[in-house]
A and B are shown apart, each in its own frame.
Chain A
Amino acid sequence: MQTPTLSAKISRLLHKDSTLGPILLSPGFLFLAVMMAYPFFYAIYLSFTDKEVGGAANFTGFENYEKLFSTTLFAKTVVNSLVYTSIALVLKFSCGMALALLLNRPFIGQRFAKALMLLPWILPTAFSTMIWQWIFSPAFSVVNEVLVNKLHLISQPLPFLRDETWAMGSLIFINLWRGLPFFAITFLAAIQSVSNEIIEASRIDGASPWQSFWLIVFPAILPVVTIVMLISTIGTLGDFDLPFLLTRGGPNNATTMFALTTYNLSLGSGLIGLGSAVTMTMFPFLLVLIIASLINVRRQQQG
């Protein structure tokens, strides 16, 4: 009997799913382990140390967390992050759904409207924020110029970035403008995947358009809605570029959020351990959301 050659052995192994699967997955797994898992666990470790830039990382237990929880900066960071995320999400969901339903109806220029709608989403945030900075600028707001000097509708310029409430409102508005296309296009794709026959049958049975949407379409697209909301929550809660570029967290820390506070502490002040602790405080919020969403999706699939 002839002994199989090495190449034949390798070939046989590669034809087994139990071997080929792990081999094919290993590069991706290694990449994730090195580039994501390692930094994540290293950040957890740093959050329990007094690490400062250039200094040693000495274990200090929960000291960083105790310090953080006793500051007004952290309290504002949490409140701002939750306000920003929740309002932006509600607006993106409701406006995105309305837009998706509108785009689901045939009209002249529908394709052009879809393409145009994607513009805010495909523009680099740094670029679009520069445009918004010009629109909301304390010195040269084009909106104020038109309202005050051209149309004479108001006598004093609107305080877009210099009033605490207005600054948060401006950030939420830009987040809505930027995130709306993702919601609308995803919802539209999900709506279009719902069978027309079922919707038509419901209408024949006497359901109103609202009842058709609420009792048939919405339950059918709920898994997609859940995933979109989850992805957007993670992105919005960790939003950095918008507050960094537009308000730097001001005025009076009214727009500072988790990622910006982390950046300011870690990279601005060199307090790396504390910055890591801020990041870690965001994690429980996200974990709860992820678990709740996954349970919801599983229920939908089982139901």
Chain B
Amino acid sequence: MKQTKLTRRALLKGAGIAALGTGVSALAACSAPAPTPAPAKPADTGAAKPAAPVTLKGAKVNWLGGAWSFLPELDPVIDNFANDWAKQNNVTLTIERDQNFGPKIQTAIETGSGANIIQSATPPAIYAKSLVDISSVAEALSSEGGGYLPAGPFVAKNSGKWIAVPLGQHNWFMNYREDWFKEEGITKFPDTWDEMLVAGKKLKAKGRPFGMTFSDKAAGDGNAAPYLILWAFGAKEFNPDGSLALDSKETLAALEYAIQFHNDCGDPGEVAYDDGANNSGFLAGKISMTANVNTIYLPATKNNPAVAAGMNHAIPPKGPAGRFGAATLPWWGILGHTKGADLDAAKDLIKNFFSVKNLGAFYKAGQGYILPMLPKFESEPIWPADPKLAIAKDMFKLALPAGYALPNNNKLSSLMQEKVLIGKLFSQACSTGNAKAALAGVMKDINDLKLLS
């Protein structure tokens, strides 16, 4: 296990940052687990073996990120590959997982020690000053995989440089109780949001409401589910030239629809769901439809076969402006204090793990939980065999990231995503029934962010 070099000055500086706000960092530090030791004998993940040793001997790489708490099977895929790679290249590797890793990333940045490679889904623009330009790696991977889908550079490029490499994309499928829909005479999942209203009314009348996460308490679902409606009604946060576009009649139309949808079809609690609430609600038979990745279905196949048998997935309905999917993109990046052989090693690990021949094992283990960003994967054997997850292949080119229609994520759009402001917009509109007031409130929040950033 690597011993982190921590100078006294660095420790004091870190203590200063950590002292902000009555010990909030202490909370994070207390919850931090010990670094994960390398397994003695990696299991076979199906991935190709890492490339032959080059000139990385003696380098050190510390990897920091959150655990894949909704799908723990993904963690060993990374661990096994990285440990194999480290062994073959004589690199000292540590892997540390912490669900509240934000403070740790900042401590690493400010002290210039600790983590080298970070995995996050927070927009990388927030860490733009601290991430190494890894354009050479990203462009090589892009070239190999047929060119990243537009959401890739949108999220991972900053001022023309790649500061991160997208690991993939989470897509939000419509999860629904096919058996309950059929009981109401609905044999095909609604193709439009208007048809959804008709179906939802029938189901809610039977005590089986929908549960869309119209909430700012969910960094994942709250940053995705509302966009499916927002974009379908022609609204967006930004114009391509970077000007704000949220304060529009299209946004009000989307909100008016959402209010009706919430009142007629929704669970009253959906305006304050956290990321796990819709999963739990669906599995408990409390809600009949939600937007989610496959983390309701996969656990259900093991622990709740009746729900798994009764449910199915569909692509999002279309609205007046068309059909849209929503994606969030986890990414890997390298922190700026990584130099010399350590930097070469960090780049090499990313380049190897993210290559088409190796990353497929990760996607395959996810069974649709995380989808590729490179078109070449379309013909790779990574797609879920289960017919109920077959729509993953239809979804992966459909989704847009938060911040659309900017050509590239910027500081403001990143902060809006970090604060889950579109989730808040829908939450406020649905809980108060006043679309205009909700929009005015969120525009004030955006103004605050513009002032502060």
**Residue from B20, B215, B451 within 8 A of A266 (CB atoms):** B20
Binding site for B on A (CB under 8 A): 34-36, 38-40, 42-43, 46, 52-55, 67-68, 70-73, 126, 137-141, 156-157, 159, 161-163, 238, 240-241, 244, 247-248, 250-253, 258-260, 262-272, 274-276, 278-279
**Residue from A70, A253, A275 within 8 A of B21 (CB atoms):** A275
Contact A139 B16 (CB under 8 A): no
Residues on B with C-beta less than 8 A from A271 are 452-453
What are 5 of the A-B contact pairs (CB < 8 Å)?
Answer: A70-B451, A71-B448, A139-B278, A269-B126, A272-B17
CB proximity to A under 8 Å, residues B414-432: 415, 418-419, 424, 427-428, 431
B53 close to chain A: CB less than 8 A: no
Contact of A252 with B127 at beta-carbon distance under 8 Å, contacts A42-B16, A156-B268, A240-B21 already known: no
Assembled-state Cα–Cα distance A126/B100 (Å)? 14
Mask for B271-303, Cβ within 8 A of A = 1, else 0?
A: 111000110110010100000000000000000
Residues on B with C-beta less than 8 A from A262 are 20-22, 24
Residue among A126, A138, A241 facing the most chain B CB atoms (10 A cut-off) = A138
Contact A43 B19 (CB under 8 A): yes
Residues on A with C-beta less than 8 A from B267 are 139
Mask for B426-453, Cβ within 8 A of A = 1, else 0?
A: 0110010000000001001101100111
Residues on B with C-beta less than 8 A from A266 are 17, 20-21, 106
* Chain B residue, CB-CB nearest to A136: B272
B234 close to chain A: CB less than 8 A: no
Expressed in whole angstroms, the minimum distance between the Cβ of A34 and any Cβ of chain B is: 7
Contact A278 B216 (CB under 8 A): no
Mask for B123-138, Cβ within 8 A of A = 1, else 0?
A: 0001111100000000
Expressed in whole angstroms, the minimum distance between the Cβ of B441 and any Cβ of chain A is: 6
Contact B452 A265 (CB under 8 A): yes
Assembled-state Cα–Cα distance A86/B267 (Å)? 34
Given contacts A54-B109, A252-B428, A269-B452, 14 further A-B contacts (CB under 8 A): A43-B19, A55-B129, A71-B451, A139-B211, A162-B427, A240-B22, A240-B24, A262-B22, A263-B20, A263-B21, A267-B20, A269-B453, A272-B20, A275-B21
B352 close to chain A: CB less than 8 A: no
* Chain A residue, CB-CB nearest to B8: A34
Residues on B with C-beta less than 8 A from A162 are 268-269, 271-272, 427, 431
Expressed in whole angstroms, the minimum distance between the Cβ of B355 and any Cβ of chain A is: 28
* Chain A residue, CB-CB nearest to B25: A267
